[in-house]
Structure 1
Amino acid sequence: MAESTPISVITDDVRTSSTKRLWYRTTLFNAFIIGGVGFMAPGLWNAMNSLGAGGAETPYLVNAANALVFGLMGFLCLFGGPIANRIGMNWTLVLGAVGYPIYSAALYTNNRYGNEWFVLVGAVACGLSAGLFWASEGAVALGYPEPAKRGQYMNIWLWFRTGGPLLGSAIVLGLNHSAVSKSKGKVGSETYLIFVALQCVAAPLAVFLTPPEKVQRGDGSKVKIVLQDSWSAEMKELWRVSCRKEVLMLLPVFWASYFNQYQGNFEVYYFGVRARALIGFVSYIGTLLSSWIISRFLDYKKVTVKNRIIYSFYYVIVLHITAWVYGWVVQEIYTANPPSLDWSDKGFTRGSFVVILWEFSRQALQNWMYYLISTMTDNISELSRLSGILRGQESFSQAVSFGLNTKEWYGGRVPLAVNTILLGLAVLPTWLVIKDYNPIEHGSSEAYEEKGRDEEEPSVENFGKNESIVKEASLNK
């Protein structure tokens, strides 16, 4: 007896009749929605952590809470793809935004009243929510846009997501710039109240995300969807994707990319509050620049997609070698003679560049990995599973790293050594994946590209003639 799993397929055929495009169905609008939610929710969360351990005076409680956040987030990311495929991308995104203000509120109560249990409760809420957010966000950011503009729209998404920390860092800097904040300590409690208020906007904004079957791309193609008809079928598909050879070989780089959570401890150990605020602000400007540089190249049409992936991989390696050699040198100097630096001190620039280079290299790797997995499939349903696996493994890595950094290691040598080893071990299997890799290039309309139309144009000829839905029934023999 043989049985086929029932699926529904919405094809990406290009229409031939004139159809008016609705601005709120365009890929540009949805890029702003996903970017806006990322700006308010994880973006501001990252702003707090860019202060070093959530702006706390000591890093250990917040590191323990963050280990809990990312442990839960890893599981929810893995299963976020099937959940998003069953309940819809927009509702998954809504649920993915609700936990962030709870965690920020918990940090506020800890900062002002010394409350510790609420920090752990907030961490649970944030971890469960964040897992769903990341699984849906990656699929939307990579699966909605036209393939020829994938790097451009990924950059819009990441600029928004990084803009949150940039704004948050500016707020923190504005509230903690006085001479009182020159020394080590914690940020003012009013900082968290502003973050809570802004993060509460994320969930209502997520409601406006367009379902994938209604997205109107600029080149006239449709977002391809392959939906399983049951939860068990979704889980089987998740297992199948997880066992793909290239996915298994990419696990080391998935783990290595976000393992460096010693960065928060580094800032707390060696910088005053306002210095940490300034480092957070400047490092995110570097992150934006890093995202823009690599995304521009990933959309460069005079180079094949495969070569873009390979050349960008070399670029990422060079960045990481530079950042980590410099980081080790400065850390050894600080281990021998630990400083307490303000932005007015002579050695501030040298120390701040450790964080800036770590962030710059990490963002380049992030963009590259997301672009790589977006070329592994031609439908958004599988892309949601791939992005969930990527972010889930990163989350498990972050949970372990935050757990590792709950202890004060001498000179930070243990977490730095583990991170360096992970990065080194990731190079060979990642290279083995991409050297013979054949990326899937799909869904673009050559005729449309020759016309040179842009996404922002209000309408397009030949948008679509027929939207076909194929349903396969179960067969029993």
Structure 2
Amino acid sequence: MAEKTSQEDASSGEEVAPVKRIWYRTTLFNAFVIGAVGFLAPGLWNAMNALGAGGAQRPYLVNAANALTFGILGFLCIFGAPIANRIGLSWTLFLGAVGYPIYSAGLYLNNRYGVEWLVLLGATTCGFSAGLFWASEGAVALGYPEPGKRGKYLNIWLWFRTGGPLVGGAIVLALNHSEGAKKKGKVGYSVYLIFTALQAVAAPVALLLTPPEKVQRADGTRVIIKAESTFKGELKALWKALTRKDILLLLPVFWAAYFNQYSGNFQTYYFGVRARALIGFTSNFGTLLSSQIMSTLLDYKRIPVKKRIVWGFWYAVVVHIVAWVYGWVVQEKYTANPPAYDWEDKGFVEGYFVLLLWSFAQQALQNWLYYLVSTKTDNISELTRFTGILRGQESFAQAVSFGLNTREWVGGRVPLAVNTILLGLAVYPTWLVVRDHVPVEIKRVEDPVTPNTELDSDVEKTAEASAVILPHEKGKFVSAETNVGPTTM
């Protein structure tokens, strides 16, 4: 941790001795921590859902459980920011991991013995945990790194989180690749035993996270913390964030981004078990490619940050148009003549690319959204609120979408139509936000005295709640004695 210096010494320009960086305080180490938890907890959860309905033979119980999970998750994401700012990001991340193995155990009992109650109980505990996980994870992934490396670290986080489905998909594929798995049905129960054991490791790993005030960035800058002194103050700040005009305009795209849970039904309707296992494994490479393309664009230094955001927006629009036009064409074909493809069948690739393009477009939009939100503030406490709101609204949308898919709609037209309409309605209000957005990096250049102008105008400060932000020199960590009361993390 940096040696503390008085504000008077720092402001007078007195030379401060360089502080040796400690590897476990670096942004890279903490990116690996958040990535490892993402890999083990939601990553393996995604691996199960990548099978189509958690690997079940019929999607309806699992879709109902997932609707419950995401309904709870939505509330906890939003209110997770005040909780995280009070108990600290490390403990929030710990609590955000403990519920996942219970859900996996429920799927095991259901798969082997037909027990349903633990699936619903596990969905409840998973919802509470996932809400806290997402509220803390987004803030760490975007708030810990240097501003110029947001895209890079967002991609590292995504690589780890997608590593869960990759490893999980490989396990499932290894256990379900035989000739007997050609037909439609459910995966073997041994899959869930492995997933449950791996997810149980996530909570201890979360405790390795460095508190934000001790993080040591490569460029010598500090993570800015301006938490409220009371939980009531946190709720008031959360309400102000929720009612901001730009956040309200972004609500449609928050909903549209992850509304497509019909993809799980699409797999169970039209593909055999081992084909679903192959899809669950290989489709993650499309997700990684999508994340890499968007992150490279968003961190490309030769293009101004505002222009990167604008270009990223239109790129996301184009890939969604391609994915959904293609999806509708194939769906109408399948509605007329429903197939049951194995990976050896001639028409397998055509249906596979529907799922690949949907996930490709979805990931491009999510990367872009998180980056956009991260450029609204340089205060990690406020960023926790923003990412919690973003993920919370995405979760409400997923809850509704999973609920919508508990019914066997003819040809999937209803969920596809709802998703298409949502995406269309989101374009214009999102563009209004993009058009008027001034990234925090630009604000800092225009007003160097007030590095967090946006926050200053939106969140009420008290003497106890404000952190003092001092000048810094590259390679040196300078901080003032800061009174943030019990909210220091």
Long gaps (5+) in structure 1 = 1-8, 446-459
Tell me which residue corresponds to 1:412: 412
Q: Check whether the contact 1:90–1:211 (CA below 8 A) recurs between aligned residues.
A: yes
Distance in structure 2 (CA, Å) of the matches to 1:247 and 1:279: 35
Distance in structure 2 (CA, Å) of the matches to 1:398 and 1:38: 19
Q: 1:145 to 1:411 in 2, by over 3 A?
A: same
Distance in structure 2 (CA, Å) of the matches to 1:30 and 1:238: 26
Deviations 1:353-375 (A, max 9, x none): 00000000000001000000000
Tell me which residue corresponds to 1:425: 425
Could you tell me which amino acid in structure 1 is paired with residue 478 of structure 2?
Answer: N
Q: Does 1:466 align with 2:478?
A: yes
Distance in structure 2 (CA, Å) of the matches to 1:281 and 1:123: 23
Tell me which residue corresponds to 1:457: none
Q: Check whether the contact 2:36–2:161 (CA below 8 A) recurs between aligned residues.
A: yes
Distance in structure 1 (CA, Å) of the matches to 2:146 and 2:400: 36
Could you tell me which amino acid in structure 1 is paired with residue 262 of structure 2?
Answer: Y
Distance in structure 1 (CA, Å) of the matches to 2:113 and 2:444: 56
Q: Check whether the contact 2:45–2:100 (CA below 8 A) recurs between aligned residues.
A: yes
Long gaps (5+) in structure 2 = 1-6, 446-471
1:16 Cα deviation from its structure 2 partner: 4.2
Distance in structure 2 (CA, Å) of the matches to 1:42 and 1:151: 21
Tell me which residue corresponds to 2:207: 207
Deviates more, 1:107-116 or 1:430-439: 430-439
Q: Check whether the contact 1:212–1:223 (CA below 8 A) recurs between aligned residues.
A: yes
Distance in structure 1 (CA, Å) of the matches to 2:266 and 2:94: 34
Tell me which residue corresponds to 2:453: none
Counterparts of 1:373-384 in structure 2, within 5 Å, are 373-384=373-384
Deviations 1:280-339 (A, max 9, x none): 111101000100111011000111111000001110000000000000000000000000
Aligned length in residues? 449
Counterparts of 1:153-192 in structure 2, within 5 Å, are 153-192=153-192
Could you tell me which amino acid in structure 1 is paired with residue 294 of structure 2?
Answer: I
1:219 Cα deviation from its structure 2 partner: 0.3
Q: 1:462 to 1:369 in 2, by over 3 A?
A: closer
Distance in structure 2 (CA, Å) of the matches to 1:355 and 1:56: 18
1:463 Cα deviation from its structure 2 partner: 3.3
Q: Check whether the contact 2:219–2:474 (CA below 8 A) recurs between aligned residues.
A: no
Distance in structure 1 (CA, Å) of the matches to 2:41 and 2:274: 23
Tell me which residue corresponds to 2:232: 232
Q: Does 1:28 align with 2:32?
A: no
Could you tell me which amino acid in structure 1 is paired with residue 133 of structure 2?
Answer: F
Tell me, what secondary structure is at the counterpart of 1:228?
A: coil
Q: 1:465 to 1:48 in 2, by over 3 A?
A: closer
Q: Does 1:60 align with 2:60?
A: yes
Q: Does 1:353 align with 2:378?
A: no
Distance in structure 1 (CA, Å) of the matches to 2:473 and 2:242: 40
1:472 Cα deviation from its structure 2 partner: 8.8
Q: 1:442 to 1:106 in 2, by over 3 A?
A: farther
Tell me, what secondary structure is at the counterpart of 2:439?
A: coil
Tell me which residue corresponds to 1:107: 107
Distance in structure 1 (CA, Å) of the matches to 2:478 and 2:43: 40
Tell me, what secondary structure is at the counterpart of 2:171?
A: helix
Counterparts of 1:293-372 in structure 2, within 5 Å, are 293-372=293-372
Q: Check whether the contact 1:148–1:444 (CA below 8 A) recurs between aligned residues.
A: no
TM-score for both structures, normalised by structure 2: 0.90
Distance in structure 2 (CA, Å) of the matches to 1:253 and 1:42: 22
Identity %: 69
Counterparts of 1:261-276 in structure 2, within 5 Å, are 261-276=261-276
Q: 1:272 to 1:209 in 2, by over 3 A?
A: same
Deviations 1:140-169 (A, max 9, x none): 000000001110011000110011111111
Counterparts of 1:90-129 in structure 2, within 5 Å, are 90-129=90-129
Q: Check whether the contact 1:80–1:131 (CA below 8 A) recurs between aligned residues.
A: yes
Distance in structure 1 (CA, Å) of the matches to 2:24 and 2:123: 34
Distance in structure 2 (CA, Å) of the matches to 1:378 and 1:216: 16
Q: Check whether the contact 1:68–1:123 (CA below 8 A) recurs between aligned residues.
A: yes
Deviations 1:96-125 (A, max 9, x none): 000000100000000000000111000000
Counterparts of 1:123-142 in structure 2, within 5 Å, are 123-142=123-142
Distance in structure 2 (CA, Å) of the matches to 1:136 and 1:443: 25
Could you tell me which amino acid in structure 1 is paired with residue 345 of structure 2?
Answer: D
Distance in structure 1 (CA, Å) of the matches to 2:443 and 2:41: 31
1:85 Cα deviation from its structure 2 partner: 0.4
Tell me, what secondary structure is at the counterpart of 2:227?
A: strand
Deviations 1:217-238 (A, max 9, x none): 0000000000111010000000
1:470 Cα deviation from its structure 2 partner: 4.4
Deviates more, 1:274-283 or 1:231-240: 274-283
Distance in structure 2 (CA, Å) of the matches to 1:233 and 1:149: 31
Distance in structure 1 (CA, Å) of the matches to 2:254 and 2:442: 25
Could you tell me which amino acid in structure 2 is paired with residue 86 of structure 1?
Answer: R
Tell me, what secondary structure is at the counterpart of 1:357?
A: helix
Q: Does 1:246 align with 2:253?
A: no
1:462 Cα deviation from its structure 2 partner: 4.8
Could you tell me which amino acid in structure 1 is paired with residue 20 of structure 2?
Answer: K
Tell me, what secondary structure is at the counterpart of 1:246?
A: helix
Q: Check whether the contact 1:59–1:406 (CA below 8 A) recurs between aligned residues.
A: yes
Q: Check whether the contact 1:221–1:443 (CA below 8 A) recurs between aligned residues.
A: no
Q: Check whether the contact 1:146–1:444 (CA below 8 A) recurs between aligned residues.
A: no
Bigger relative contact order, structure 1 or 2 (CA pairs below 8 A, ≥6 apart): 1
Distance in structure 2 (CA, Å) of the matches to 1:118 and 1:198: 19
Could you tell me which amino acid in structure 1 is paired with residue 264 of structure 2?
Answer: G
